[in-house]
Amino acid sequence: MDYKTNPTSRKELRGIARFVRKLFKCKNKYRFDVMDAFERIPSVFPAVSCLVVEDDEIEGDIPARCVPDFKGHYTIEVKSSIYDGAAEGVGGYRAHILHEICHAILCLLGFTPILDRAFKNNELKPFESMEWQAKALCGEILMPYEETEGLSVRQIRHLCQVSRESAELRYNNYRKPEPKTPLERRARQWF
């Protein structure tokens, strides 16, 4: 399920990603240590706690979740099979965990749900979608834009330890033509 939140741009999320990488003392310019971040986030952000739970404690095919208590605290719950796979370096599992960490970080930064009945057919613009923002921030942390520019899908996948799908998305972002008009440039900042 998705919720509307305060709008942000890809450029702003890149700045947040650089900050998060510094906050967690990421020494590798490509690979972000998701497991270290999962273990350390409660000391970096005391309003966040992390739990590894039995697979049947989270319904269906949901690999992990960020649960707010509506008092400013967030609990990140990760299925044990996802945690184990991430510890073994499975890119998709690493991304699932980081995605939930990103939800908590964004909420702490004020990107919390907005109750708004004005949008049509439950459609949100990406820049005001909590899910898009968490996915985009996750991608920016896992695959720093400036560092991965000019790399192939295979190089991004190997150096950043991400899934093929994630590496392809990042690679394809570099292939978008530059905006030609001021309106296109302004619109691009949101995507």
Q: Smallest Cα–Cα separation from 39: which of 96, 101, 107?
A: 101
Angle at 31 between CA 26 and CA 37, to 5 degrees: 50
- C-alpha 53/C-alpha 55 separation (Å) is 6
Tens place of pLDDT for every residue, the chain, 191 residues?
Answer: 788 889 999 999 999 999 999 999 999 999 999 999 999 999 999 999 999 999 999 999 999 999 999 899 999 999 999 999 999 999 999 999 999 999 999 999 999 887 665 556 667 888 899 999 999 999 999 999 999 999 999 999 999 999 999 999 999 877 665 556 666 555 545 44
